[in-house]
Structure 1
Amino acid sequence: MSRPEPDPTERLEPLLRDLGSSRTGLTSREAARRLVHYGPNELRRRGGRHWPRALGRQFTHPLALLLWAAAALAFVAGIVPIAVAVMVVIILNAVFAFAQEVQAEKAVEALAAFLPVQAKVLRDGRPQAVPAAELVPGDVLMIEEGDRISADARLISGGIEVDLSTLTGESMPVFRSADLADTGVSLLQARDLAFSGTMCTEGQARAVVFATGMRTELGRIAALSERVQPEENPLDRQIRKVSRLIALIALITGAAFVPIATFGAHLPVSEAVVFAVGLLVGNVPEGLLPVITLALALGVRDLARRGAVVKRLSAVETLGSTGVICTDKTGTLTENRMRVTHVWTAAGTYELGDAPVSGDARRADPALAGLASVMTACNNARRDLAGTLTGDPTEVAMLGAADRLGEPGAAGRLCLFHFDPALKRMSTVDERDGGTWVDTKGAPETVLPQCAAIMEGGAARPLTAERRRDVEQVVDDHARQGLRVLALAVRRLDPGQPVPRRREDAERDLTLLGLVAMQDPPRPEVAEAVAHCHAAGIRIIVVTGDHALTAAAVARQVGIVGERPAVVTGEQLDRMSEHDLDALLREHRQLIFARSSPEAKLRIADALRAEGHVVAMTGDGVNDAPALRRADIGVAMGRSGTDVAREASTVVLTDDDFATVVAAIRSGRQVYDNIRKFICYIFAHTTPEIVPFLVFALAGGAIPLPLTVLQLLAFDVGTETLPALALGREPAEPGLMRRPPRERSESVIRPAMLVRAWLFLGVICAVLSMAGFFYVLLRAGWHPGDPTGPGSPLHHAYRQATTMTFLGLIAGQVGTAFAARTEHASLRSVGVTSNPLLLWGIAFELALAAVLIYAPPFQALLGTAALTPDMLAFVVPFPFLVWGADEIRRWLLRRRKAAP
């Protein structure tokens, strides 16, 4: 014989005894003592934030270290202005990056915002308002409608409706009562418990606190969010690789020049070292960090205009490498605007438009009037003084449908059995039409088992097994169309029968009136965005808490899946091993996870990342925070999302629109392309910077140095930066969203880029600049080995020759800038003038070159000399030759690609 469940009151006394409390609460003195023992009721980050260390990391970043080395070498070489300029770049970038880091990591602090400032408790036997941070276990909370609950507590009297969406994601309020005691269920499902951070939407109750601060369920989520650390993003890894490569190139060229100059050109060791230092500093791209920062900042600004707020600059690039989007359905793919579209009774299906149902239909089918009555009575939505319906979207939709079905008579509520997320139904006991009725609405799979009859032809007829299958078929048919279906049923109590006080007594022997089908229409722009994703090779996985058929129908309507997607329910996912989940994700490209929990989102994100995918995950609840932090890109809803989700995410959508996610991915791809264009532009100048020194060294001094160290530095720092910055603002190439996603391991520097930069563009620029150098010297009558030093007859011609090399480098730089604007497409396809910032940058570059060449102070500093018109005419074709050669190369590549 089974042992009966103990009375809830009997179960409460041991808890009060264990907590050392009573129904009248604690004394102020005891509460103060416990506050010292348990600590404040706050959510906190373990260890705090180490501000000096975080700031110090910005100064010891790999590229920052390379720039520090460049500054130090410039000081050694006695080039103080260059050293100071490099240090300014380091400081500005460090401060900017540190500010971004501070703004990006606030998930736990946002969780704390769910705790109210004040709480009402019983202290010293009377009600008091105390700071929520001073609540301790054993306190008795007084909870009323509109209160945000301040700690985890067990109800000791009364009953309340609680919005648990911040913890469970469930949109409907749930009923919690001191008279309900559950065993064998999770804490969040226990009907006698209330939790920190949730909201009381109706009723009054008293509850004894049993957990505060980090020991609450909210604290557990905060601790989980803290433990789930986001990994280093792909861009940071790529920058580190680029920095190492640049450092290696600079060190090799600098170190190799010393023995070559000493033994080949017979230079003194001290002079060879000075040349090597200049070469080293010249090979360090001081503009790399500013250009990357600017490109990312511009991407952030553009995305903010489109409705996506990006909180971490490097996340813009990560968006561009996204290969999988795990998206919710409600509010992201759909408009989150419920409307009843169909009503089904035993007599048939009625399509509800804006006009009321005809009187003939209502007279022919009495079940319609019954449906209108249940829609109105079993409903907590209300119409305000202005006539606007307010409340849960589903219940608002039901009231609107009731208005179109007819005019139900007034009903007086006698009892309410709140919506239970486990049972998925709600019931009321109401007086109307001269009798007492039980009115029930809920998910068909939970209401149908409670029904014994169905309303047919104005009379209740037995609900046979065959008739049940017919009703279930109607439910499935509606769900396949993407409609949410609710079943409505009634039972009239016998005259004199007492009002049932237990749910089990009320929700039995019901008569099914019919089904109500509601639609949350897909956003009109989503289908096009999904098509762009498919063209770009981006996989979309729907992860939702909705019914499997409904989720599949909506996904099918917007083009995410075809006719036969793989649908996995939350229960099926829970039974899967990690190996099974990995196999599922590999074998099925069209996937829908229905009735999924937030923990399921975390599992899915981990599994996809383990397969090497870059994952974007959408979410809106507190319980989505761990998954949002785990994903490469956490995308929170700005309108419907919680503060915690917004803070834990990387991107916040101000319009909750899936199309905005796709726009963000497009922008990320564009930014990544522009970073690669800039790096190609920088690397293309390595070869022409090294060649003059190699020519001098390998000639054994017979050929004078074609470019001085100071001219090299002026070229590298002064004229290169603005065009490089402009390339970070380059418009997208055609076909950007028709390329497959990049692999997580793909490097920003590819062998083809190095060949193009060093051995194609770089060689052309080097040949042209050296041609200008020899053009001036040979016209002046120079022969190899002739002296060109100060006081010699050829000294002025030599200064003009080095100036020609300097100007030739700048002219080649202009051609390289136009060539680097596209990787495969022709320049005409993107427009010669489509990047006005580049045109201004080139204009500034040429103006600066004129100043450095013709201004006497700079002539004395850099060793330049004024050039004659014929020399300038010799240099004019250089940009067109560089750009034209690369245009032909790209044309041949396109032709070869199109040949098959």
Structure 2
Amino acid sequence: MTEPAAVDPREASARLLRDLRTSPDGLSAREARRRLEVHGPNELPKRSARGWPAALLRQLVHPLALLLWAAAALAWVSGTAEIAVAIVVVVLLNAVLAFWQEERAEHAVEALGEYVALQSMVRRESTTGPFPAAELVPGDVVVLSEGDRVPADARLLSGAVEIDASMLTGESNPVERAADLPDAAERVIDSAVLVFSGTTCTGGTAEAVVHATGKATELGRIAALSATVRLAESPLERQVRRVAWLIAAVSAAAAAAFLPLGVLAGLSWTQAFLFAIGLLVANVPEGLLPTITLALAAGVRDMARSGALVERLSAVETLGSTTVICTDKTGTLTQNRMRVTEARAGTGASAAGPDLLRALARCSTADLDAVSGDPMELALLEFAASGNVSLSRQQRTSDQARLYGFDPHLRRMTTVDREDGRLVAHTKGAPEEIVRRATSCVDERGQVFPLGPHEHEAVVRALKEMADDGLRVLAVARRRLTSVPERRDDAESRLELLGLVGLLDPPRREVPGAVDHCHGAGVLVHVVTGDNGRTAAAIARQVGIRAERVVDGPELEAMTEAELDALLTGGAEIVFSRSTPESKLRIADALHHCGHIVAMTGDGVNDAPALRRADLGVAMGASGTDVAREAATAVLTDDNFATIVAGIRQGRRTYDNVRKFVLYIFAHAVPEVLPFLLFALAGGAIPLPLTVLQILAIDLGTETLPALALGREPAEPGLMTKPPHRRTDHVINRRLLLRAWVIMGLPSATLVLIAFFAVLITAGWQPWQPLPSPITAQATTASFCAIVACQIGTAFAARADRALLRDIGVGTNRLLLLGIAFELAVTAAVVFTPGLQDVFGTAPPPWWVFALMLPFPVLVWSADELYRARDRRAHCRRPRRTTSA
């Protein structure tokens, strides 16, 4: 048999069977084996294993890691092997942690394989039996029934089924597929005659011919998209890398420039080399990388308590920088639980009578007591029970004389029931089908009227009003019978229209408040869903999303890149309906191109590519698929939109706190570097004010815990009323450097030199005159202690960006108070413990030196407080920046 050419699965079934070189009796075993060799197994392609040594090595040569390696080497050269080993351990721990998180983010494609069925009923050589799904080939005929997972993309040959395609389409309601339905869908995924790999059959039976397997299926296409989409780098990751290279360049350039300068100033080459090492060590923020990692880890823990689990530490900061949220509708904005929200009588009046409730209680196959059955039918039974009309499943079944189950062709179902000694047929289904078969209508009082033109117009008007509210509408009718009908059509003709029922997946209560917080924070919210646009827009407006425009899938596909960019930068909130995986990916790309930081939610397989492409993919933990969870960087355990907003608040707090401890760390560079510059420029006229080991003791000892405590700082007032950070904003900007190096750094350096020279002068020091080693040790110890005193003032100043310290509260960060206590304890140990005195070259200075240092923290804090007061006044006069601008 020749190999089938490329086929059109939507063509007539007879022609498709011819093109696939098969028949309704299936393939022969010999032909199936041959095709399996040609097409390969019905499996998704496996990702090639990455070499873990290379991946781990990338984490070890990160710019900040290189700086820490340099700091470790300098510590080793300086003769302090213990500190060198400690720095190496920090580098290794950070590298292993980052490597582990990166590997976890690469499993999305492997998870797709779990959606391929393991076994399927296949007809070969006129015999039907179970076959491994991996052995299916194009041309095989499969038999589908309720509960089966569709094993491959196939075209129905006979029968009708209901399919749960939400993992591909995002639409929450089951869809009808039948072999003889007309196929007028614009998208292949919506074809009425096709079923797709990975979807689930929720009802009915059918036979279908396979036309695509493995990577050629819709599921395989999505897997290919997920495999090629790169994870977006967070703003913090970009900025840390940029700052690290900047620090490395400045440190190396400063050391290279001042080495010959020191020799020209009269230093020996040994002294000049010592100066260069000290300058490098003073410029390298050894504690920056571990502090950032631990601060983000603390943010991860806080978000987990709020119901958001993140798999990349940087995702915390990304969420805080979000400018646009693209949210799904079902389960995220809504409760993912159908409810009857409106019921009207058969005349179109806005009140339903008891006859409607009785019909709903009888015309069903669900079991409300056991909470089993179709979610929509359970909602209808709950509504009937709320009106004190309920029947047990056993009573309903015993009263039933005939059941005509839901038929996707007819779009209705009917039960013939014994009611008060009479036979009554109860029918429910699509309004256009039921109304067309009705000849009369029943008002809220139970009176029957002919369904004339006037009444028909009232019913049509009621249907339109309910549809405009985003409701899924069912019509309910009855027919009184004298005997059990022999034909279904006899039970479903000349009906009395009892009423219209509108169902809705209601919004979550907390979502409107969360949306309001988003708007207050300058964050736009777009709805990107596979559902109907009218329904999605109605829900969006109910929760406060403005939904100025609805764009469906075909309209989006017809847009040029320029048109889409203009739409997304116009400041409007948009509902994108009937979205495909490609359109979701395109929306994420366009927003990224326009400079937005995008959080994209999703729960289905079709969401995986966009979740990976967005700056932050947010998957649903309760109702989402494993594929979506693997592709995302954050998972909501409660599927709640409000949790995203709580995450934004936590992310903003973390972002601000990162800036606070970066400010705190950078502020100490000036008092550490300036003494070395003074030593070099003086050409030996003054002794070295600090030693290399004392600088390392500051950077890795006294500085670390207060910096970590700043990472746990409470949020400043007004956090969620500020506009989001722009992609071009930097953690380390000119204002931060101005505060660190000028406002706090220069006063700190001046105070340090005052303490240093105070000890020298009282000991009788004169320029170029050597002093006894104990006096020099006391002077350098005074410099060391003065830096620690200034650190206390810097810590309190760094707690606030623009707010007053009294608004935040001096004692609200207990960790900072403990960190300062630890800092003082470490300082005391370095200064007064004999063993550490030998290591760090310290000696206790006179008591009056400590008295001199008492006002140092207040002076440093006051300098920054005066600057921030002026900055607050200037900031209040600036216009507020908005996201759309």
TM-score norm. by structure 1 comes to 0.87
Alpha carbons of structure 1 residues 829 and 233: separation in structure 2 relative to 1, 3 Å: same
Give the match's secondary structure for 1:587. coil
Q: Which of the residues 383, 387, 401 maps onto 1:401?
A: 383
Give the match's secondary structure for 1:428. strand
Residue in structure 2 matched with residue 365 of structure 1 by the alignment: none
Q: Does 1:373 align with 2:359?
A: yes
Contact 2:137/2:210, CA 8 A, preserved across alignment: yes
Contact 2:435/2:497, CA 8 A, preserved across alignment: no
Q: Deviations over 1:779-803 (max 9, x none)?
A: 1111222222xxxxx4322221111
Amino acid in structure 2 at the alignment position of 1:883: W
Give 1:599-638 correspondences, 5 Å limit: 599-638=582-621
Q: Does 1:312 align with 2:296?
A: no
Q: Does 1:323 align with 2:326?
A: no
Q: CA deviation at 1:297?
A: 1.0
Q: CA deviation at 1:10?
A: 12
**Structure 1: gaps spanning 5 or more residues:** 1-7, 353-360, 363-367, 789-793
Alpha-carbon distance between aligned partners in 2 of 1:185 and 1:832, rounded to the nearest angstrom: 64
Q: Which moved more, 1:222-231 or 1:333-342?
A: 333-342
Give the match's secondary structure for 2:795. helix
Q: CA deviation at 1:429?
A: 5.0
Give the match's secondary structure for 1:326. strand
Alpha-carbon distance between aligned partners in 2 of 1:690 and 1:229, rounded to the nearest angstrom: 41
Q: Which of the residues 728, 743, 747 maps onto 2:711?
A: 728
Alpha carbons of structure 1 residues 572 and 135: separation in structure 2 relative to 1, 3 Å: closer
Residue in structure 1 matched with residue 6 of structure 2 by the alignment: none
Q: Deviations over 1:271-326 (max 9, x none)?
A: 31232023212321121211111111111111111111112111110001111112
Alpha-carbon distance between aligned partners in 1 of 2:175 and 2:530, rounded to the nearest angstrom: 17
Alpha carbons of structure 1 residues 18 and 492: separation in structure 2 relative to 1, 3 Å: farther
Alpha carbons of structure 1 residues 468 and 539: separation in structure 2 relative to 1, 3 Å: farther
Q: Which moved more, 1:176-185 or 1:673-682?
A: 176-185
Amino acid in structure 2 at the alignment position of 1:784: P
Q: CA deviation at 1:754?
A: 0.6
Give the match's secondary structure for 2:462. helix
Q: Which of the residues 352, 366, 369 maps onto 1:382?
A: 366
Q: Does 1:887 align with 2:870?
A: no
Give the match's secondary structure for 1:809. helix
Contact 2:109/2:627, CA 8 A, preserved across alignment: yes
Contact 2:169/2:578, CA 8 A, preserved across alignment: no
Q: Deviations over 1:335-373 (max 9, x none)?
A: 233332432125464557xxxxxxxx55xxxxx44x743
Give the match's secondary structure for 1:390. coil
Q: Which moved more, 1:816-825 or 1:624-633?
A: 624-633
Q: Does 1:526 align with 2:511?
A: yes
Q: CA deviation at 1:98?
A: 0.6
Residue in structure 2 matched with residue 537 of structure 1 by the alignment: 522
Contact 1:479/1:553, CA 8 A, preserved across alignment: no
Give the match's secondary structure for 1:162. strand
Give 1:488-887 correspondences, 5 Å limit: 488=476, 499=487, 512-545=497-530, 548=533, 550-561=535-546, 565-570=548-553, 572-594=555-577, 596-597=579-580, 599-788=582-771, 794-887=772-865
Give the match's secondary structure for 2:600. strand
Amino acid in structure 2 at the alignment position of 1:309: L
Alpha carbons of structure 1 residues 234 and 604: separation in structure 2 relative to 1, 3 Å: same
RMSD, aligned CA: 3.5
Alpha-carbon distance between aligned partners in 2 of 1:436 and 1:879, rounded to the nearest angstrom: 88
Alpha-carbon distance between aligned partners in 2 of 1:588 and 1:491, rounded to the nearest angstrom: 54
Contact 1:568/1:593, CA 8 A, preserved across alignment: yes
Q: CA deviation at 1:769?
A: 0.8
Alpha-carbon distance between aligned partners in 2 of 1:541 and 1:467, rounded to the nearest angstrom: 40
Alpha carbons of structure 1 residues 506 and 411: separation in structure 2 relative to 1, 3 Å: closer
Alpha carbons of structure 1 residues 208 and 49: separation in structure 2 relative to 1, 3 Å: farther
Q: CA deviation at 1:261?
A: 1.1
Q: CA deviation at 1:114?
A: 1.2
Alpha-carbon distance between aligned partners in 2 of 1:604 and 1:184, rounded to the nearest angstrom: 23
Residue in structure 1 matched with residue 4 of structure 2 by the alignment: none
Give the match's secondary structure for 1:655. coil
Q: Deviations over 1:82-115 (max 9, x none)?
A: 3333222211111000111111222111211112
Alpha-carbon distance between aligned partners in 1 of 2:65 and 2:306, rounded to the nearest angstrom: 33
Amino acid in structure 2 at the alignment position of 1:299: G
Contact 2:657/2:713, CA 8 A, preserved across alignment: yes
Alpha-carbon distance between aligned partners in 1 of 2:429 and 2:235, rounded to the nearest angstrom: 50
Alpha carbons of structure 1 residues 204 and 544: separation in structure 2 relative to 1, 3 Å: closer
Alpha-carbon distance between aligned partners in 2 of 1:624 and 1:489, rounded to the nearest angstrom: 39
Alpha-carbon distance between aligned partners in 1 of 2:560 and 2:440, rounded to the nearest angstrom: 43
Give the match's secondary structure for 2:411. strand
Task: Give identity over the alignment, percent.
Answer: 54
Contact 1:172/1:419, CA 8 A, preserved across alignment: no
Alpha-carbon distance between aligned partners in 2 of 1:548 and 1:451, rounded to the nearest angstrom: 29
Give 1:217-236 correspondences, 5 Å limit: 217-236=218-237
Give the match's secondary structure for 1:200. strand
Contact 2:138/2:212, CA 8 A, preserved across alignment: yes
Contact 1:141/1:209, CA 8 A, preserved across alignment: yes
Alpha-carbon distance between aligned partners in 1 of 2:461 and 2:424, rounded to the nearest angstrom: 32
**Structure 2: gaps spanning 5 or more residues:** 1-8, 879-885
Alpha carbons of structure 1 residues 476 and 347: separation in structure 2 relative to 1, 3 Å: closer
Alpha-carbon distance between aligned partners in 1 of 2:425 and 2:402, rounded to the nearest angstrom: 10
Alpha carbons of structure 1 residues 49 and 372: separation in structure 2 relative to 1, 3 Å: farther
Q: CA deviation at 1:804?
A: 0.4
Q: CA deviation at 1:262?
A: 0.7
Alpha carbons of structure 1 residues 731 and 51: separation in structure 2 relative to 1, 3 Å: same
Alpha-carbon distance between aligned partners in 2 of 1:406 and 1:105, rounded to the nearest angstrom: 53
Contact 1:413/1:428, CA 8 A, preserved across alignment: no
Alpha carbons of structure 1 residues 327 and 837: separation in structure 2 relative to 1, 3 Å: same
Q: Which moved more, 1:743-752 or 1:820-829?
A: 820-829
Give 1:290-305 correspondences, 5 Å limit: 290-305=290-305
Give the match's secondary structure for 1:711. helix
Residue in structure 2 matched with residue 209 of structure 1 by the alignment: 210
Give the match's secondary structure for 1:823. coil
Alpha-carbon distance between aligned partners in 2 of 1:428 and 1:677, rounded to the nearest angstrom: 65
Q: Which of the residues 433, 441, 464 maps onto 1:455?
A: 441
Alpha-carbon distance between aligned partners in 2 of 1:185 and 1:567, rounded to the nearest angstrom: 18
Amino acid in structure 2 at the alignment position of 1:418: D
Amino acid in structure 2 at the alignment position of 1:394: M
Q: Which moved more, 1:584-593 or 1:649-658?
A: 584-593
Give 1:170-249 correspondences, 5 Å limit: 170-178=171-179, 182=183, 186-249=187-250
Q: Which of the residues 457, 462, 478 maps onto 1:474?
A: 462
Q: Deviations over 1:693-735 (max 9, x none)?
A: 1212222221221112222222222322222222222221111
Residue in structure 2 matched with residue 791 of structure 1 by the alignment: none
Alpha-carbon distance between aligned partners in 1 of 2:495 and 2:473, rounded to the nearest angstrom: 18
Alpha-carbon distance between aligned partners in 2 of 1:697 and 1:576, rounded to the nearest angstrom: 65
Amino acid in structure 1 at the alignment position of 2:511: V
Alpha-carbon distance between aligned partners in 1 of 2:187 and 2:866, rounded to the nearest angstrom: 68
Give the match's secondary structure for 1:639. coil
TM-score norm. by structure 2 comes to 0.88
Give the match's secondary structure for 1:119. strand
Alpha-carbon distance between aligned partners in 2 of 1:177 and 1:492, rounded to the nearest angstrom: 31
Q: Deviations over 1:415-460 (max 9, x none)?
A: 445347xxxx821355457789693523x5x558846755256556
